[in-house]
Amino acid sequence: MEIRLDVISEEMAQREVAALSRELSDVLARRQDVESVKPVSGRAPDGAKGIGQVIGSFLVGLPVEAITGVLDIIKAIASRPGQPPFIIKITRDTTEISFDPRKITPDEVAKLAKRLRPPDK
């Protein structure tokens, strides 16, 4: 399964978003359960507000079982002292989820992971 992660911030400079996106992609790439991490280039995703909003994006290939671990890593990085606020937008096929990783509860992480799972065939 492949998901797109967008780091979105109205308070961070482009270089800060780029650094955070690189850090997240590097940390995820080191996980044994993540199959691939690839940068995304091109236009902003649909729904991006434009002016005042900075976006960093990458694709993550992973098995369905790894989704919760990926969400936990994002939450851990977002919760560090001094980390400027940002929103994560995750897209898988037609499913799109946006959340503030600093405020998400463990129950909400489980619900997000369930929504991102492909339907059983």
What pLDDT is recorded for position 51? 43
45-82 pLDDT tens trace: 455 444 445 689 999 999 989 999 999 999 999 999 99
pLDDT of residue 42: 53
What pLDDT does residue 97 have?
A: 92
pLDDT at 46: 52
Q: Tell me the CB-side half-sphere exposure of residue 72, using CA atoms within 13 A.
A: 9
Q: Nearest Cα to 80, choosing from 63, 102, 62?
A: 102
Question: Could you tell me the pTM of the whole model?
Answer: 0.84
Q: What would the 3-class secondary structure string for 50-98 be?
A: CCCCEEEEEEEECCHHHHHHHHHHHHHHHCCCCCCCCEEEEEECCEEEE
> Which residues neighbour 14 within 8 Å (Cβ) at sequence distance 6 or greater?
54
